[in-house]
């Protein structure tokens, strides 16, 4: 069975040219920071940033698949059901033997974990975590807007 994908970003996205994704462990949480797309979303300004905190993250990978490789079908997943440059939950269809070997593992996956996928211009990001929270920081005012996405425990 092929994986299905649920898109999670609708009124925001990563900067399409140089999002500069950075990851950092903080206890059992993983922080993913990146620049936001002010070209597509007029409510954002250049240099605004996003941070997704993945709570109870068991593992992640920041691969080197870029947009050209994805369009040439060199990615882990075929291109059906999802688009380059978006943020998804990967649901079902993750058969054994399809996983890259470059995961950074912190602990075993929990039964309450979800699989997340985000395509940046020059990177593919995946992680397994219980929930995610998005914070947007404007470069002008250092305002923080947060949105919690809890899948329950």
Average pLDDT over residues 101-107: 92
Q: What is the pLDDT of residue 141?
A: 58
The answer, yes or no, to whether residue 17 has pLDDT greater than 80, is yes
What is the spatial distance between Cα 53 and Cα 135, in angstroms, rounded to a whole number?
8
Q: What is the pLDDT of residue 100?
A: 76
Average pLDDT over residues 95-107: 78
Asked whether the beta carbons of 5 and 117 are under 8 A apart, the reply is: yes
129: Cβ contacts below 8 Å, ≥ 6 apart? 30, 54, 55, 56, 57, 58, 113, 114, 116
Least confident piece of the model among 37-41, 112-116, 141-145 = 141-145
Q: How far is CA 141 from the centre of its chain?
A: 25
- Please indicate, yes or no, whether the overall pTM of this predicted structure exceeds 0.85: yes
Angle at 140 between CA 84 and CA 33, to 5 degrees: 35
Q: Which residue in 152, 147, 145, 146 sits closest to 130, CA to CA?
A: 152
Digit-coded pLDDT (tens) for 48-99: 999 999 999 999 999 999 989 988 988 888 888 888 889 999 997 675 545 7
Q: What is the pLDDT of residue 138?
A: 83
- Spell out the domain ranges in the chain: 4-150
């Amino acid at each position: 069975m092929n994986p299905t994908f649920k898109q999670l970003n609708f009124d925001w996205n990563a900067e399409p040219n140089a999002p500069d994704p950075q990851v950092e462990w903080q206890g059992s949480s993983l922080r993913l920071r990146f620049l936001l797309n002010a070209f597509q979303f007029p409510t954002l300004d250049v240099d605004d940033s996003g941070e997704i905190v993945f709570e109870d993250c068991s593992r992640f990978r920041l691969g080197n698949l870029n947009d050209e490789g994805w369009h040439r079908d060199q990615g882990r997943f075929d291109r059906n059901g999802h688009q380059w440059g978006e943020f998804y939950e990967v649901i079902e269809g993750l058969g054994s033997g399809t996983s890259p070997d470059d995961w950074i593992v912190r602990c075993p996956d929990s039964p309450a974990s979800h699989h997340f996928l985000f395509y940046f211009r020059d990177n593919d990001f995946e992680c397994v975590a219980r929930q995610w929270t998005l914070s947007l920081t404007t470069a002008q005012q250092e305002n923080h807007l947060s949105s919690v996405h809890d899948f329950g425990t």
